[in-house]
Structures are given as C-alpha cells and as structure tokens.
Amino acid sequence: MALDRLWTIVRLRVRSLLKGTALDAELDEELRYHVDRQTDELVSQGVSPGEARTMALRAIGGIERRKDEMRDQRGVSLVEDVGRDLRFGLRQLRRQPGFAVTAIVSLALGIGANTAIFQLLSALSLRTLPVRAPSELTEVRLTGDGRDGRQSGRNRQVSLPQYREILARQQAFSSMLAFGDTRFNLSPHGEIRTVDGLWVSGSFFETLGVRPLVGRLIGPDDDRPGCGEGVAVISYALWQRDFGGRADVVGQLLPGDSPAPIIGVTPQEFFGVEVGRQFGVARPICASGFGANDHWWLAAIGRLKPGWTRAQATAQLSQVLPDIQRTTMPNYRPELAHNYMTMGVEAVDASAGVSPLRASYQRPLGILMIISGLVLVMASVNLANLLLARAAARRHEFALCLALGGTRRRLVQQALTESALVAVLGAAVAVGVAIVFSQSIPPLMSTRSDRIYLDLELDWRIFAFTAAVAVATSLVVGIAPALRAGKASAIGAPARGSAGNDGLRLRRGLVALQLAITLMLLFAGLLFLRTFRNLSLEEKGLGERGVLIASVFFSEERLPPERRLATYADLDERVRTLEGVVSSAAAFTTPLGGSYWESDFVSDTNVREMSYGNRVSPGYFATLGTPLVAGRDFSDADGPGAPAVAIVNESLAKGFWSGSPLGHRFTQPSDSGGPGVQFEVVGVVRDQPYEDLRQPHPHILFIPLAQEPDQKEYRRYVIRSSRSPAQMMAAMTAAVDEFDPTAGIRYALLDTQVGDGMLQERLMARLSAVFGAVALLLAVVGLYGIVSYTVASRRAEIGVRVALGASGARIVRTILGDIGRTMAAGLVAGGLLALAAGRGLASLVYGVSSTDVMTLSAAAAVLAGAGLLAAMWPARRAAAIDPVAALRET
C-alpha cells in the first residue's frame, strides 16, 4: 500500500474519531445540498416545488439512514459505540445516584479489602531482599525437637558451634553468614532506651553484598574471638535519628551499655534480613560473649553456588549432619542426646529474608484473604442483583430499542459496558480504600516497644491484582444482566405493572447465596471476637487496670550482693510511700514479662511435675487484682530464716492434690542431689497467664521474694496508683535517682504487656468483625432490593387482594413468607458451610470450639433479625398500597 494512501486513511480515521460531531454536520450539509439541487432540477422540469422536494428526498432514501451508513463507512463505529455507551452509562449512574453509590461502594470495599490484604501478604512473603542476587540466598534450618537449653531471639535455629561446623562441612554455598537478633540499650543511665540489634558474623555484609554508605562495614577481621566490645555498624535510620546524619559519626563510641566504636553506616534500603524488622545496630558475634553448645540464637544463611539446587544442598547437608551434631553435642543426658542426633536439616529459600513474623501471620492473613475474597463475592453478587433489577425495570426500554432496529449485540454490549464502568469506578475508589486500610494494619501488629515495619508502597503486583479483580468482577457481574438484555424481545415486553417472574428466581438464588456467605463471615467474626474476649485480662485473673511495671537495674559494683536485701527493703518502702501509690509490690517476673523460671517439683503426695515459678513480695496479688481463693497472702514475717512457704495457683493445686492444698508440702529437688528445699502451701490464687496467653492452664507457684538467698542486681516493681502512668514514671525515676543516679529503669504497662500477647487475636477480631459487618450490610441491601422489587412487580396483584378485603397484616405475611423461604435456604446452606469451614480455624481460636453451635446460632439470629428488618420495610409499603391507584396504573 502506498505510503501516502496509508497516511490519508490514518488521518481520516483519527479525524472521524476526534471530530465525530463535525463530520456528522458535514454529512448533513452534503446531503442537504444534493436534495436542494435535485429539487431545483425537478422544478425546472416543471414539477411543483413541494412534490419535487418529496421526490428528491425519497430518491435518497431517508437522510438519517444514509448518515448511519456513512458513519459505518468510517470504520470506527465500535469505538464510537463504546464511547456512546460509556456516556450513556455515566448518565444513567448520575440519574440514579443511589444505585451508583451502592454499587461503587460495595465494589470498592470488596476490591480494597482484597488489595490491602494481598499487599500485606506480598510485603511479608513475596518481595525479595534489597541485596545482591537475593534468589541465591538459602537458609539452613534444623528440624526436629532437639534444642534443649537456652534459646534467645526470634531466629533460634542453630548454636554458634553448629554454625561453625556447618560452614566447615557444607559444599553447596559459595559463602555463608550467621546472625542473631538482640536489643541494645543506647541510654547511658535513667530510663532505658533499646533498639533492635543484630549479632552478625564477619561474613554477613560481604555475603549479602551490602556496601557501606559511610565508613566501612563489619568484615572477617572484626569477628575474632576475644574482640571485647568489638565494633558497631549502625543503620541509616539510627544514623539520621541519633547522630543527625553527620559524617563524623565514624569513630564515635556507641552510647549506652556497649561502648563499641562505630565504624560505618548501612544504606537506607537495607533493613537486615528479617522481614518486618529494622535493625539499628549491628555488632560482631565475638562481642556477644555467647557461644555455648546448648544456646540457640543464630540463623544461618548461605549463597547457593551456581549449578546447585536447594534439594542438592539439603542432600549434601543431610550427609554431613551426623558429624556436625556429634562434634557440637552439648553435655546432654541420653534421651536429650538422642533427640539431638535425630534432628534433620533442610535448605530453604531465603530470597525474601527470614521471618518468624511471616510464619506466625501467614495463616491468619491467608484466612483474612479468604474472608475478604468472600466479601468481594458478596459485593459482586449485590452488583449483579442491582443490575438485574435494573435490567428488569428497563425491559420496556430494551424492547423499544429492538423494535426500532437496535441489534441484540448492541444491547449486550451496552449492558456489559455499563457494568465495566461500575467496576472501573469501583476499582479506582478501591485503590484509596486499600491504601487507608493497609496503612492501618501494621499498627495493629506492632506494639510500642516492638515495632513492625512493612514496606507497603503500592507496587505493580498490587495494581495488576486490583486490575485483574476488577476485570473479573465486571465480567462476572455483567454477564447475567447482559444475557438478560440480549433475551429481551420486541414483542414480548409485558405491560407495566404485571408480575413478570423473569429473572426473579435467579435473583432469589443470589440472595440466598449472599445470606449463606454472610452467615459464614459472621460466624468467623464472632469466633475471633470470642477468642479475643477469652484472652482478655479479666478472664485471665488480672482484674486491675493501669498497673505500672518498673524494672530498676543496678550495677554489680555499686550494689554488691551483700547490700542488696537492705537496699531493696529501703527502696520498697520509698516506692510504697510515693504520692498516689495505692498498692505496690516487687516480683521476679510479671505475666508475659519475658523472664522465666521453670523447675521440677515433687508434692508430698509424690506427684512430680514441671511448674512455672515466681518470687513475689507481699501485696503482689492485690496490686494485680488476682483474687486469693483460699489461705493467706505472704506477709513481712515470711522473711529470711522464717519457714519456707508458697502460694499456688488453682491449676497447680488441682494437679498436685485432690482436696484443699493448704498445709500440704512440696519439694524442689536440688541439682546437686541433696535433700532440696521444702515449701508449705499457705494460699491459693486464681490462675494467671505466665509466658503465653494461649496456654490454657499454666501451673504456677509463688514463693516469697525475701526468702530468695540469691538477690539479683535488679528489682522489678508492680505499682497501682491514682496518678497517670506518666506522672508515676517521673516520680519513680526521681526516687531511684536519689538511691543511685547510675541505675537504669525500664517501664511497661501490664495492660499493654499482656495485650501485646494478643496482637494476632486483636488483628483477627477487628478485621473479621469489620468484614462481617460489611457482609451483613451488603446482605441487608441485597434483601431489601429483592423484596422491594417483588413488591413493585406485584403491585397490581396486591391491589386486587386489598380491594378484595385482605388485611395489611396478611399482605405483610404473604411478602415475608415469600422471602422467608429464600432466607431459610440461605441460612441452612450457610450454617453447613460455616461448620465445615470452622474446622480450618481450629488453630486460631481459643476457649471456644471452632464449630461451636451456640456461636453459629447467635450469628444466624443476628442475620435473620437484620434480614427481617430489611424485608419489613418494603413489605409494609406493600400493605399500604392504595388499591384504586394500583389498579388504575395497569
């Protein structure tokens, strides 16, 4: 084809698209000219002017039809049609803002929720680390239950000796790194200020391929045994926050407990290897002082050699694992040694970093993804229902279109364009919803002291996902009404007001489906709410609000062991008499406080059991609001030299003795094989949580803090006061300052400390409740819609009934009975689905069965009640129909 011709064609098509109206005017003018000339010609031949014009017009055969034909010649009619459909659709939406808002908001909620949850999942598990060739990174994990001893940090995979052996014997990796997480106190004295920190091997930064932003990073020479405090590398964020981003930071000493010289700063995008965390300070492993065979605190990551797969790496590591285990065996008794030797090893993908957070949240987020997916289904069904109702209401219009020569294809196309329009608008709003929504979730996962950082910028994955969801939704939602529009018949359009059942069955089915899904979501929401409640403080034997926990740390030199008991007695007294203090006590640890004491005890009935222990001063239970069930609290008389006494919790009492435990004795066997200490039980208290809220009945025994021969260099107080926590902290800091200005203090609130243990439950409870409410709202809208539609289409019939003497109540009953069958079908189906789905939630609920029939009944009752209310409104309108008016309309 000649180029100039191609150019002409393109130019004309573009002109047709851009100047459609101008072209139409041109067509008009051209045809008019023709008719005028033809008329003149005929007149000159002797025809009368009027007749001449008619003849000329007839010859050309209808100007409008010609114009249409010529438009088609322009070859852009599809584009123009879509454009016209879009304008028409927009006009329709503007004309019925109620429909538009309902449709767009339901879709936006559905798509937005999905995008947000997907975004979280993606941030947690799909994104790779910002380091060199992340796809080669592979974590070496040991499987099996062989780690007896000390475990610290979140990544307690291997001990240091194990890492060294793995490094020496592996063949799959070109290099390896190890790291453990910790916290560093950066405050020289007074209130303690900690930042997330890393203990890293000398190969850490080199293996990851991270380059320094300032100075240099930790290298192999920095991680040598006997390095003392070693050196420190700080993160970009810490550099900005604490050092004002100044270049002379290199060479300064790290403030706080560990005065190591700072040697460099990492780039801004590097957050460590653990997703959801941001390290502030990294120091070499040699400076940790750790390294015992029975201390688990490190994660080991290797960079896969070219040509090696993770399966081959696993195989090779499995071969050398027995040697590794034999060489690094702690001093275990036989059964523990056996466990240790039977551990397995696997090489797993670490391209997205390691993440205990991922492990603990992947399942809840997966379930939320399903829930939000169901909400999207609900939104789509609602939309389909609304569009179907509109299609039914517009049957007349469709029939008219067909009669005037419109094609079915055009009608279907128009209906599809309209639903696509709604989907696109919904998706646009959804992006906003998603941003707001996903920004509000990480705070639900974080606590004040334990921040979760997730990179939640919208990225292409999310956009692709939203777009896919929007397109799928538009197709699903558009198909039913479009087919209906295509089925419209030019002659079959029923008279206005008659009971057309067209599509009603389909719409009822959709409403039943909605009810079923809503019941499932409500059930899940209630289960998570009950779980959350079951873990709440009251349920857990902690009746008091606003208890402040203050831990005071002294240095060994300034407070030698022999002076501690007397000093602590003075400090106790000082705290007790602080202004506003209602009740205070000291304790070794607090519920979920992180410190931990577990030991074997033998009762006088010869039951031997592992139990948690705590050492507390008199008034501890009263301060926390834990009821004393029997016996007495400790008193000042239970001091050093007095008979050894103990208070036990109800669960422990039940485990050891059948009757009242008061007066019974038990023994803590000594490690050295001696007689051990014998305690007499003087009191019983309600159960408290110890280290994990979800542990149903931990066995705990309490002994007087004053009877502990080995007083620690720190003292932990629980304080209940009439003043605000901030005022109380200030008063406490001042009081401690008088005793020892170098002492460090850490504060916590018992409420938040315990609440932090319920993060996951809180997240699930809030989000599933929100989703359940959204689903309920959508279902109510759906029900209302179908009943209104039924009433409208049966107007004439109802008019006749009223005219024949049916009472209003009877009309309402008829309408409700009608919808009642749909509701019953939906509720039964939903109930069965909910019970089946409940099994999958078993591991996420606490204190309630995941197939609890009571909860299900409550959900069904809520739904049925809301549904009846939604149906009642239009039903009563039906009862108020004026028979004369209704009959006249037909």
Partner 1 sequence: MSRPADLVQGTLDLLLLKILALGPLHGWAISQRLKQVSDDVLQVSDGSLYPALHKLEQQGWIDAEWKPTENNRRAKFYALTRAGRRHLARESASWARLSNAISLVVALPED
Residues in touch with partner 1 (CB under 8 A): 2, 4-6, 8-9, 12-13, 26, 29-31, 33-34, 36-38, 41, 56, 59-62, 66, 69-70, 73-75
Q: Tokens for 394? A: 């517009």
Q: Burial-class residue 409 by CB neighbours within 10 Å (0-12, 13-18, 19+).
A: exposed
Q: Tokens for 666? A: 């038990």
CB of 64 vs partner 1, minimal distance in Å: 12
CB of 51 vs partner 1, minimal distance in Å: 16
End-to-end alpha carbon distance in the chain: 63
- Please list, in sequence order, all residues whose beta carbon lies within 8 angstroms of the beta carbon of residue 792, skipping any fewer than 6 positions away: none
Q: Are 248 and 262 in contact (CB under 8 A)?
A: no
- Please list, in sequence order, all residues whose beta carbon lies within 8 angstroms of the beta carbon of residue 246, skipping any fewer than 6 positions away: none
- What count of other Cβ atoms lies within 10 Å of the Cβ of residue 234? 30
Q: Beta partners for 298?
A: 158
Q: Are 180 and 297 in contact (CB under 8 A)?
A: yes
Q: By C-beta, is 4 or 335 nearer to partner 1?
A: 4
Q: DSSP per residue over 789-854, as a string?
A: HHHHHTHHHHHHHHHTT--HHHHHHHHHHHHHHHHHHHHHHHHHHHHHHHGGGGGG--SS-TT-HH
CB of 61 vs partner 1, minimal distance in Å: 3
CB of 13 vs partner 1, minimal distance in Å: 8
Q: Tokens for 207? A: 């293996």
Tokens 């002409």 -> residue = 8
- What count of other Cβ atoms lies within 10 Å of the Cβ of residue 667? 16
Q: Burial-class residue 688 by CB neighbours within 10 Å (0-12, 13-18, 19+).
A: buried
Residue ranges of E strands in 91-237: 137-143, 150-151, 173-185, 190-191, 194-200, 214-215, 232-234
- What count of other Cβ atoms lies within 10 Å of the Cβ of residue 165? 20
CB of 7 vs partner 1, minimal distance in Å: 8
CB of 39 vs partner 1, minimal distance in Å: 11
Alpha-carbon distance values, 572 to 38, 557, 889 (Å): 116, 21, 88
Q: Whose CA is closest to 584, among 489, 715, 453? A: 715
CB of 83 vs partner 1, minimal distance in Å: 19
Alpha-carbon distance values, 113 to 309, 366, 434, 439, 517 (Å): 37, 13, 6, 12, 16
Q: By C-beta, is 71 or 877 nearer to partner 1?
A: 71
Q: By C-beta, is 79 or 773 nearer to partner 1?
A: 79
Q: By C-beta, is 71 or 766 nearer to partner 1?
A: 71
Q: Are 397 and 485 in contact (CB under 8 A)?
A: no
Q: Are 763 and 540 in contact (CB under 8 A)?
A: no
Q: By C-beta, is 57 or 792 nearer to partner 1?
A: 57
Q: Are 52 and 43 in contact (CB under 8 A)?
A: yes
CB of 38 vs partner 1, minimal distance in Å: 7
How far is Cα 657 from Cα 156, in angstroms, rounded to an integer? 37
